[in-house]
Amino acid sequence: MSGWDTGQVFVSGAPAGGVEEAEGDIRTIASRVIQRKFVEFLRNFQSQGVFIYRDRLRRRYDLKEYYIEVSIDHMLAFDEELASNFLKDPNECLPLFELGAKEAAQIINVAEVEANFQVLFSWSSAPSNIRDLQSSQVSQIVCVRGIVISASRTRAKATHLNIVCSSCGASKTLPVRPGFSGAQLPRKCDNDAGPANAGRKQCPLDPYVINPDKSYFVDQQTLKLQESPETVPTGEMPRHLLLSVDRYIANRVSPGTRIRIVGIFSIFQAASQRPKGMGGSSGVALRQPYLRVLGMTTEAEGASHTMRAWDPSEESLYKELAARPDCYEKITRSIDPAIFGHDDIKKGIATLLFSGSRKTPPTGTKVRGDINVLLLGDPSTAKSQFLKFAERLAPIGVYTSGKGSSAAGLTASVIRDASSGEFYLEGGSMVLADGGIVCIDEFDKMRDQDRVAIHEAMEQQTISIAKAGITTVLNSRTAVLAAANPLSGRYDDMKTATEQIDFQNTILSRFDMIFIVRDIRDEEKDQLIARHVLNVHMNVTPAATASERRLVGRELIEADDLDIDFFRRYISYCKAKCAPRISPEAAKTLENYFVRIRSEMRERTRDTRMAGIRAIPVTVRQLEAIVRISEALAKMRLSRVATEEHVAEAIRLFRVSTMEAANSGMLQVDEYLPPEVRMEVQRAEAAISRMIEVGGTASTRSVVDALKRQGFRDFSCQKALYAMSARNDIEYRNQKRLFVRKK
């Protein structure tokens, strides 16, 4: 984050020396007119018979909080010329406005105000993208939207410097320019000038030193704003912009927060942009842009570039869609219609997009409402396509690949700034996706330590940082949609789920639904798939034609598949307007179901022949998962109560996903093997015990090859290793490439 010039001094607004000093130095008659107009605006503007700014100034004065929020739209309605002057020349008008706010506060409260008032602005103008800001907008008011990815610590920044001559002791006050611009100390003492000082000894060059005790400072913080992930064009790198915030808007946001900014688009020369080994004049024209923040609004969770205030006609469409008997089926069909079948997976992804209800019990511990889904199975079963579509459909979505993602890239990292030596936080994918979903492809290719790093983010939905003296907690209120392949690349019917899933129970239990995606070779099904894929390729609408014909009004809900933009807005509307709760009858149904499946799992665990078979645990987290799925199904229909009907469908989805995955491979146990095969497996176990001593480490492939040379079949070798692992005789390492004999 170049440009964090710790050694420089900056000003953030009006001078701290008082109204009299400012008027004596820089105020002209025209400036005084602008100041008086702003005082009149604060005192006299009213909306629906209420003097808004009088009440705000009185309340802020009582609280000893010397700032006031002002709407530019209100200024335009009250005095268009005043607002026009501010928009044309904000650098000149802002100090006048802050002096005017102080004067108005003194008049309204009939008391002396000790400090200057900070004026914070809001504006209903459509925000610009960071990449659309141009040099022609320098020194103008702009409105942008983005996500904070890093924040510096708060520092004291000078607004007025008191400097003292080290030779003669003369002092003076030096005003500092706004923003990141620095203050230039005079090279000669002022006492050297004039006939009165002609006979005395002259002061040396650069005599001035700063007297901090008599200087004026404000709190200053630097933020780094990045484009929202959903607004970045495909193939482009996200753009960044430095923000300078001060006084009452410092320390208000943390990395991962989505904000809307009103500020002055400014430029400064960073140290890193000064050319080395070149003439000084060559770097004079190089400048780095930044935004001097005049107002900051934190956007509601789930807000995106497609969201806006819902008008009555739009809301009526949403309510009509939610009331349709086929609402659930229509939403399911609209989840990537190009993919044939996989209806249950589409329903699971739909519940993930709508999510359950987040709750905060009296203890203060938050209970997540976001739903996590894992797709595990064969290649070429559209897992990645599901992830890409979900990322595009979600109001906030981030896509990443597990192979190229580190723990720091997914959670957060602590980085040291090269120019200042300061440590600062930079959020990762799960922080940037706060309020939306994060899609992690190739989940099985992640390193174990990277997967462990997201445990907290998936359940508690926070990321705790304790590095380089920085101790903080970031929000990661996001749903996780992950895709993975089995260990052998394809799902093998001859192996159990435990043998094919190289994930620990700690990570598996955090997924609400786990779908086993199979590529089953069936002639009739293959014909249907081929016919569907070819129809998609033959009948697809060209992009140009699709953009010309836009569905409007009732066409949006009457079409076979929901328009993706309408679908995205409907998801945002449901999440903003509805937070369902489980009804007492549905809760009783859930209680009975949970007790029953726990009893079934307990009986299987007692059977020694089933030891180690259950790859996916069924715990209280799975009960909460069914609750979240039920709430998401109710939210799709804008229902405030999740009924027994919703719970029944949630239980069905849970059974065809997680329970089916947990039971996968239950029949491949020794009881169902022929006697001769069981005998061969036992001999292979004895051979392994002879080859590897207790505490020794061996390569799985080498051991299998050695057993094959002794006449054992590959199936018997794999079964022997699996049986020893289930009894804890051996322990696998490095994705089952190695194992250690424990007993």
Please provide the DSSP assignment of 481-521 as one string.
EEEE--TTSS--TTS-HHHH----HHHHTT-SEEEEE----
Angle at 554 between CA 550 and CA 559, to 5 degrees: 65
DSSP 125: S
- 693 Cβ contact list (under 8 Å, min separation 6): 741
pLDDT digit string (tens) for 434-479?
A: 888 999 998 888 887 788 888 888 888 888 887 777 777 888 889 9
Q: Where in the sequence is the domain holding 691, given as residue range(s)?
A: 673-741
pLDDT of residue 453: 82
If asked whether residues 23 and 149 sit together in one domain, one would say no
pLDDT digit string (tens) for 58-94?
A: 999 888 889 999 999 999 999 999 999 899 889 889 9
If asked whether residues 318 and 291 sit together in one domain, one would say no
Average pLDDT, the chain: 81
Report d(CA 679, CA 692) in Å as an integer. 20
Confidence band of 386 (pLDDT split at 50, 70, 90): very high
* Phi-psi domain of 727 (left: phi exceeds 0; alpha: psi -120 through 50; beta: other): alpha
Number of structural domains the chain divides into: 4
Report d(CA 465, CA 411) in Å as an integer. 9
Please name which of 146, 138, 96 lies closest in space to residue 116, comparing C-alpha atoms.
Answer: 96
CB atoms within 10 A of CB 28: 9
539-559 average pLDDT score: 65
581-586 average pLDDT score: 93
Q: Averaging pLDDT over each range in 97-106, 253-262, 505-514, which range is the top one? A: 97-106
pLDDT of residue 395: 86
Report d(CA 442, CA 489) in Å as an integer. 11
User: Looking at the domain assignment, is residue 613 inside a domain?
Assistant: no
With helix as H, strand as E and coil as C, how does 578-605 read?
CCCEECHHHHHHHHHHHHHHHHHHHHHH
Of 266, 299, 332, the last residue of a domain is: 299
User: Looking at the domain assignment, is residue 632 inside a domain?
Assistant: no
Q: Residue holding tokens 């800001």?
A: 133
498-523 average pLDDT score: 79
With helix as H, strand as E and coil as C, how does 287-304 read?
CEEEEEEEEEEECCCCCC
Residue 552 above 90 pLDDT?
no
CB atoms within 10 A of CB 219: 16
Report d(CA 114, CA 91) in Å as an integer. 24
User: Looking at the domain assignment, is residue 3 inside a domain?
Assistant: no
CATH number where 266 lies: 2.40.50.140
Instruction: Decide: helix, strand or coil at residue 692.
Output: coil
User: Looking at the domain assignment, is residue 634 inside a domain?
Assistant: no
Instruction: Decide: helix, strand or coil at residue 33.
Output: helix
Of 533, 554, 578, the last residue of a domain is: 578
The runs of H, that is alpha helices, within 144-216 are none
pLDDT of residue 192: 66
Report d(CA 514, CA 508) in Å as an integer. 8
Confidence band of 9 (pLDDT split at 50, 70, 90): very low
User: Looking at the domain assignment, is residue 587 inside a domain?
Assistant: no
Residue 354 above 90 pLDDT?
yes
Least confident of 98-112, 269-283, 528-542, 619-633: 269-283
If asked whether residues 338 and 469 sit together in one domain, one would say yes
Long-range contacts of 361-370 (CB under 8 A, 24+ apart): 366/460, 366/461, 367/624, 368/459, 368/460, 368/461, 368/477, 368/628, 369/628, 369/631, 370/437, 370/461, 370/477, 370/478, 370/479, 370/480, 370/628
Amino acid (1-letter code) at residue 80: E
pLDDT of residue 302: 41
Report d(CA 13, CA 179) in Å as an integer. 9
Residue 630 above 90 pLDDT?
yes
Report d(CA 99, CA 501) in Å as an integer. 67
pLDDT of residue 438: 92
Phi, psi (degrees; rounded to nearest 5) at 728: 65, 25
What is the model's pTM? 0.73
Report d(CA 500, CA 599) in Å as an integer. 25
Considering only residues 661 and 626, tell me which one the structure prediction assigns the higher pLDDT.
626
Residue 411 above 60 pLDDT?
yes
If asked whether residues 322 and 449 sit together in one domain, one would say yes
Residue 580 above 90 pLDDT?
yes
Confidence band of 615 (pLDDT split at 50, 70, 90): very low
201-230 average pLDDT score: 86
608-637 average pLDDT score: 76
Instruction: Decide: helix, strand or coil at residue 209.
Output: strand
Residue 589 above 70 pLDDT?
yes
Please name which of 86, 72, 73, 99 lies closest in space to residue 13, comparing C-alpha atoms.
Answer: 99
pLDDT of residue 642: 94
187-195 average pLDDT score: 73
8 A C-beta contact, residue 462 and residue 412: no
If asked whether residues 181 and 111 sit together in one domain, one would say no
Residue 556 above 80 pLDDT?
yes
User: Looking at the domain assignment, is residue 660 inside a domain?
Assistant: no
CATH number where 105 lies: 3.30.1640.10
pLDDT of residue 495: 61
If asked whether residues 217 and 327 sit together in one domain, one would say no
If asked whether residues 100 and 184 sit together in one domain, one would say no
DSSP E strands, 370-485: 373-377, 397-401, 412-416, 423-427, 437-441, 462-467, 470-475, 479-484
User: Looking at the domain assignment, is residue 630 inside a domain?
Assistant: no
pLDDT digit string (tens) for 241-280?
A: 999 999 899 888 888 788 999 999 998 876 555 555 444 4
If asked whether residues 371 and 492 sit together in one domain, one would say yes
Considering only residues 552 and 172, tell me which one the structure prediction assigns the higher pLDDT.
172
Residue 317 above 60 pLDDT?
yes
Residue 681 host element (H or E): helix 675-691
pLDDT of residue 280: 45
Least confident of 120-124, 325-329, 432-436: 432-436
8 A C-beta contact, residue 311 and residue 399: no
Residue 388 above 80 pLDDT?
yes
Residue 484 above 80 pLDDT?
yes
pLDDT digit string (tens) for 356-376?
A: 998 888 777 788 899 999 998
pLDDT of residue 335: 92
633-656 average pLDDT score: 94
User: Looking at the domain assignment, is residue 659 inside a domain?
Assistant: no
CATH number where 495 lies: 3.40.50.300
If asked whether residues 110 and 195 sit together in one domain, one would say no
Length of the chain: 743
If asked whether residues 439 and 566 sit together in one domain, one would say yes
If asked whether residues 108 and 173 sit together in one domain, one would say no
If asked whether residues 361 and 226 sit together in one domain, one would say no
pLDDT digit string (tens) for 31-48?
A: 888 999 999 999 999 888
pLDDT digit string (tens) for 680-722?
A: 888 898 898 888 888 888 998 899 999 988 888 888 888 888 8
